[in-house]
Amino acid sequence: MKRLLTVAATLVLALTASAAEVSMENNTSCDIGPYPAATLLLPYFEVDINAPTTTAVNTIYTVVNTSKYPQIIRSTIWTDLGYPVAWFDSFLTGYDVISVSLYEVIARGRFPLTTATTVPGSMSAPNDANPNMRVDSWCQQFSGTPIIEPVLGRFQRQLTTGVRDDPNCPVGTKHDHAIGYVTVDVINSCSVVSPMEAEYWTDALLYDNVLTGEYVRINPDPESGNYAGANPLVHIRAIPEGGNAGTTPPVAFPYTFYDRYTPLGARKMDRRQPLPSTFAARWIEGGPTGFETNLTIWREGVVGSTKNVCDYGRNKDLTVSKKTLIRFDEHENATASAADVSMPATAAIPSSSHFFPVASPSGDHAGWMWMSLDNGSGRGEKSAYSIQRPSQNWIIVQMYSEGRYAVDFDATWIANGCTLTPPIAP
């Protein structure tokens, strides 16, 4: 009996030690999942700024504060060439939630109303209870203030025509709708400091994993869509988490999400998880119900925290090697691209596009794509990245049927962002 008790006790200790090891490993993991995070990424948005609300294509994202403490968040709107055209701060009380209609922001120039004087709920901590945060008049000064001409027109042009000032130095590509991506960070105070400034990373950015969120994309036009799709935002954790802005504890990641923007002397100070480069993504085309698939792809640019707008044109043609895109059908037939392809920092690309390998002659209407989206720039001598590494990416699959049904879901990453030598072929 004594021996059985000893064995049982040893087994319990072994399991406890194993659980502790797993917990420690998980806390330093590069694996991306819908956990409360310090940064949220909306990889792609589309807004028809010229149509009325009843028919306009729109993207709405929502941010939730899962903490009882108040938080300030910074939303940055980037063009499809990775240029930050606008940013605004929002104050959230404990357990608060905010929804942002990008149609209201971009088409009408109305930033969400936010105020640090909002009375917190009965379960929330007081509005001055967050020790890492300071509230000042900036949180009220620009809250709900509409953007007026000519600033609004310039804002819209950058997201549609790509032109800021000099047409020879585009900050985005040309399209009918406003297109880009959004990042949402937890910060310590409302301010007007740009994410291109070192002060944003040293004096403003915080590391509390308290944010969750999702997006909804809507096309209410019965002629062109009449559908909606939704998915969680990309949740990017800070590890280690917590502490005041500017603190730089050791970071286990080989590089971080904001790697190319952080100051040269303090790379990785954002502590954010890096994103992967290699994915498996489903596709379906045609058939009796008219299936279609778009792959929404976000790609890390090659430009760092430069203020020279002429530099952002380098994010227009982010290359994908013909050897790293493979299409499989449902009979395991594989086809590859005939030539290298390129794309900007974010786009929604039909699976029938020439960007992807052609379907096999089998006649199958579905299958999957094997994709390595590393643009190769991390291996260059003049790279904006801190080390030689793969570039970061994210893919969302958008499926449609009969012109009225739609669903969005994340593609599967094959190797996480800490994998410095991910596979480049299946």
In whole angstroms, what is the distance from residue 101 CA to residue 68 CA?
Answer: 25
Mean pLDDT is lowest, of 4-8, 215-219, 398-402, 403-407, for: 4-8
Residue 424 has a pLDDT of: 82
Per-residue model confidence as pLDDT tens digits over 140-187: 655 567 888 999 999 999 999 999 999 999 999 999 999 999 999 999
Q: How far is 42 from 140, CA to CA, in rounded Å?
A: 25
Give Dmax (Cα) for the chain: 85
What confidence score (pLDDT) does residue 259 get? 92
Stretch among 17-26, 208-217, 349-358, 381-390 having the lowest mean pLDDT: 17-26
- Could you read off the pLDDT of 69-81 as tens digits, one per residue? 999 999 999 999 9
Given a cut of 70, is residue 423 above it in pLDDT? yes
DSSP 8-state class, residue 200: I
d(CA 70, CA 55) in angstroms, rounded, equals 36
Q: How far is CA 313 from the centre of its chain?
A: 20
Stretch 19-32: mean pLDDT:
58
**Sheet hosting strand 346-350, strand order edge to edge:** 346-350, 292-299, 393-401, 405-410
The separation between the first and the last C-alpha atoms of the chain, rounded to the nearest angstrom, is 54
Dihedral class, residue 386 (left if φ above 0, else alpha if ψ from -120 to 50, else beta): alpha
Residue/partner pairs of 19-28 with CB below 8 Å, 24 or more apart = 27/239, 28/239, 28/252
pLDDT tens for each residue of 250-271: 999 999 999 999 998 889 999 9
How far apart are alpha carbons 378 and 386 in whole angstroms? 8
Which of 158 and 9 is assigned the larger pLDDT? 158
Please state, in angstroms and rounded to a whole number, the distance separating the CA atoms of residues 309 and 313: 8
Is residue 206 predicted with pLDDT exceeding 80?
yes
DSSP letter at 286 equals B
pLDDT of residue 191: 84
- 157: CB partners within 8 A, 6+ apart: 163, 164
Q: Strand 84-92 to strand 71-79: parallel, antiparallel, or no bridges (unpaired)?
A: antiparallel
> Are the beta carbons of 75 and 84 closer than 8 angstroms?
no
Reported pTM: 0.92
Instruction: Please check the confidence at residue 381 and state whether its pLDDT lies above 80.
Output: no
Q: Angle 94-45-273 (CA atoms, 0-180°, nearest 5)?
A: 60
- Chain mean pLDDT for the chain: 89
What is the three-class DSSP state of 103?
A: helix
